[in-house]
Amino acid sequence: MSLLRQCELLGLPRSSYYYQPATESEDNLKLMRLIDEQYLRTPYYGVGMMHSHLLRLGHSINIKRVRRLYGIMGLVGLVPQPSTSTAAHRSNPEHVVYPYLLRGVEITRRNQVWSTDITYVPMPGGFFYLTAVIDWYSRFVLSWAISNSLDNSFCIAAVNQAIDEYGCPEIFNTDQGSQYTARNFLAVLDKHKIAISMDGRGRALDNVFIERLWRSYKYEYLYLSCPDTGVELHQGTERYLEHFNRQRPHSSLAGCSPADIYLPKNTKQKAGNRKKEIVNTPA
């Protein structure tokens, strides 16, 4: 069947079939990589400070461009500030925002507190976003998913996977980003009667465990391996998080791995991140 006939049957103009979505320029991708690396070292850098940093590196760039790239990457400086957050991290004023429940709370057992977050993943020809769900007590990564957009469907998929495989936590902590204040995300937690906690604005330490995961993931895997495709990224992420969960010693866990703390001894060889997926990944 000819391509013309296939398009006719689908009611699809041939121009739409051949359309290639616009991507960021090579120069912007390089800048976004530099921004991401510096942001891991100094997450309190807002647009202004990052602009100054890039100028010191010799890049001729205006502050509007830095602000735009921050928005694409879903970044915001982790300091108290007026409502100047990027669109990715700004909560919808119509969405419900929950109080932070963990101030002064001692974490003493697994499944007491879980949390989730999204991080920007730079690639040679584009970028993805990675989300993960982590158990605070053990640092065990319960589930993860990769997407090429900031739509919250991949966040919901990761949470459902974690609950299906490991049960429910007592408290689930997120930031106040629109992905997590959306009704469809909160409905998953409400359905299982999980207490909802949200970071205070500009409080970098409220979700510190998953921020440390992102730093380890990028410096120990992503920046060293530089995967070229979504498939390579998915496979490499799976290998790294398996290593992170089961082999990597953690000083905060007295040299044990997260699996040593989270998993009962008789299930260590059976359980793991069996459900993983790439969501919205282009061909």
DSSP letters along 31-98, please? HHHHHHHHHHH-TT--HHHHHHHHHHTT----HHHHHHHHHHHT---SS--SS---TTTPPPTTS--P
Q: Are residues 153 and 243 in the same domain?
A: yes
Task: Considering only residues 197 and 16, tell me which one the structure prediction assigns the higher pLDDT.
Answer: 197
Q: Are residues 133 and 272 in the same domain?
A: yes
Give the tens place of pLDDT for each residue, 139-157: 999 999 999 989 999 999 9
Q: Is residue 253 domain-resident?
A: yes
Q: Are residues 123 and 58 in the same domain?
A: no
Q: Are residues 126 and 245 in the same domain?
A: yes
User: Given pLDDT bands bounded at 50, 70 and 90, which one contains residue 79?
Assistant: low
Give the tens place of pLDDT for each residue, 19-78: 555 578 899 999 999 999 999 998 889 999 999 999 999 999 999 999 999 999 988 876
Q: Are residues 145 and 264 in the same domain?
A: yes
User: Given pLDDT bands bounded at 50, 70 and 90, which one contains residue 275?
Assistant: very low
pTM for the full predicted model: 0.79
What count of residues does the chain have? 283
User: Given pLDDT bands bounded at 50, 70 and 90, which one contains residue 179?
Assistant: very high
Q: Which residues lie closer than 8 Å to 215 by C-beta, 6 or more apart?
A: 40
Q: Are residues 134 and 62 in the same domain?
A: no
- Residue 38's domain comprises 3-73
Q: Is residue 19 domain-resident?
A: yes
Q: Is residue 95 domain-resident?
A: no
Q: Is residue 130 domain-resident?
A: yes
Statement: residue 192 has pLDDT above 90: yes
User: Given pLDDT bands bounded at 50, 70 and 90, which one contains residue 267?
Assistant: low
Based on the structure, what is the number of domains in the chain?
A: 2
Statement: residue 191 has pLDDT above 70: yes
Q: Is residue 180 domain-resident?
A: yes
Q: Are residues 130 and 265 in the same domain?
A: yes
Q: Are residues 14 and 151 in the same domain?
A: no
Burial class (CB in 10 A: 0-12, 13-18, 19+), 236: middle
For residue 261, the domain's CATH number is 3.30.420.10
Q: Is residue 93 domain-resident?
A: no
